[in-house]
Amino acid sequence: MAQISYKEAGVDIDAGNAFVEAIKADVKSTFDNNVIGGIGSFAGAYALPTGYKEPVLLSATDGVGTKLKIAIESGRLESVGIDLVAMCVNDLICNHGIPMFFLDYYATGKLLPQNAQKVVAGIAEGCRRAECALIGGETAEMPGMYSDGDFDLAGFAVGIAERSEMNTVANVKADQVLIAMPSSGIHSNGYSLVRKLLFEKLEMKLETEFEGKALVETLLEPTRIYVKEYKTNKPYIKALAHITGGGIVENLPRVLPEGIRAVVHKKSIRVLPIFELIAKHVEEAEMFRAFNMGVGMIWCVSPEDVESVLSNTDGYIIGHLEAGERGVVLL
């Protein structure tokens, strides 16, 4: 019987090794003084930061979803790595977790080192924006599981928090002000609906002009990372909610205690043009459950601290908290 190699079965070990060499500079650019060792060990090592009385480790994991399909179809792979980091670290800061390090998982049918390098370069850029270290990852080449051109991503972030600061719900009171931190676009939720509407129902193309540029540029605008703004304004923030799948109506209640409701003024929301387009074909209630509507994060802030937050961010007021049944009222 003729012999067969791993490469003939669809897995190229040499390509994988070349890929690892190609990404080393990008990965090292994210390292800080707490990273122990380098690239190539069996596990990443990170020293716990000092200065915490009761340090608690927090973790978050997420993916990019079907936004990846648009990236793959367009061949624009540079920004989805930023999305991957953003979806994880933006969750961490909602529990007052400072991101420390990140790991990624890249699964594909056939490893194309030049494509994978673009993705990891995006992940490294996301880590630099989030001020966390990319200390490890895994690349899986799985022919038969994925088609040659497809890949999927998963990200894993670990942060650190002071135990006494984690219960943000206890800080939330009536009369606090809701400050919206603008989103950069659709971020990484709702893309199954976006693709169904724009490409199937409306028969738009990636190259269709929208707001003076190709539609694909708007659709692939990377998710905004809010870590630096959070660090600057942490003393003023009573609680914060990352507006992802479920929108404002399902994510904001996660930081509210019983007996407190959020009143959000729809006319105050700076709705992005892409959402205005989609809203012509989707009911308003569905829009507010599927998309961020231009609001990437909402901060609960005491009235006396509002001006301080508005002066050093691009945030704006969209509502307030009051006594009532826990939930969100859209006015």
CB 67 within 8 A of CB 191: yes
pLDDT number for residue 321 = 98
Both 147 and 295 in a single domain? no
Both 162 and 249 in a single domain? no
CB 153 within 8 A of CB 63: yes
pLDDT number for residue 14 = 77
pLDDT number for residue 296 = 98
Position 7 in a domain: no
pLDDT number for residue 147 = 87
**Cα four-point dihedral sign 155, 29, 46, 42:** positive
Q: Among the three residues 124, 149, 166, which one is the final residue of a domain in this structure?
A: 166
Both 226 and 284 in a single domain? yes
Both 18 and 75 in a single domain? yes
Residue 149 is part of which domain span? 13-166
Both 322 and 239 in a single domain? yes
Count CB atoms within 10 A of the CB of residue 304.
Answer: 9
Q: Among the three residues 166, 190, 221, which one is the final residue of a domain in this structure?
A: 166
Looking at residue 143, what DSSP letter applies? B
pLDDT number for residue 41 = 78
Both 188 and 158 in a single domain? no
Averaged pLDDT in 10-residue chunks for the chain of 331 residues: 75 78 88 88 91 97 96 96 98 97 95 93 98 94 88 97 94 97 97 97 97 98 98 97 97 97 98 98 96 98 98 97 97 94
pLDDT number for residue 3 = 82
- The pTM (predicted TM-score) of the whole model is 0.95
**Cα four-point dihedral sign 53, 54, 57, 58:** negative
Total domains in the fold of the chain: 2
Both 222 and 176 in a single domain? yes
Distance from the Cα of residue 161 to its chain's centroid: 19
Q: Among the three residues 149, 166, 183, which one is the final residue of a domain in this structure?
A: 166
Residues 227, 324: Cα–Cα separation, whole Å: 31
Looking at residue 115, what DSSP letter applies? H
- Residue with the two structure tokens 């994991």: 61
Residue-by-residue DSSP string for 261-312: EEEE-GGGS---HHHHHHHTTS-HHHHHHH--TTEEEEEEE-GGGHHHHHHS
- Calculate the alpha carbon distances from 71 to 22, 123, 200, 216 in Å: 21, 14, 17, 9
pLDDT number for residue 244 = 97
- Return phi, psi of residue 212, to 5°: 85, 10
pLDDT number for residue 204 = 97
Both 145 and 174 in a single domain? no
Both 173 and 149 in a single domain? no
Measure the CA dihedral 145/149/150/153, to 10°: 110
Looking at residue 176, what DSSP letter applies? P
Give counts: helices (H), strands (E), the chain: 11, 14
pLDDT number for residue 129 = 98
Position 140 in a domain: yes
Residues 54, 96: Cα–Cα separation, whole Å: 13
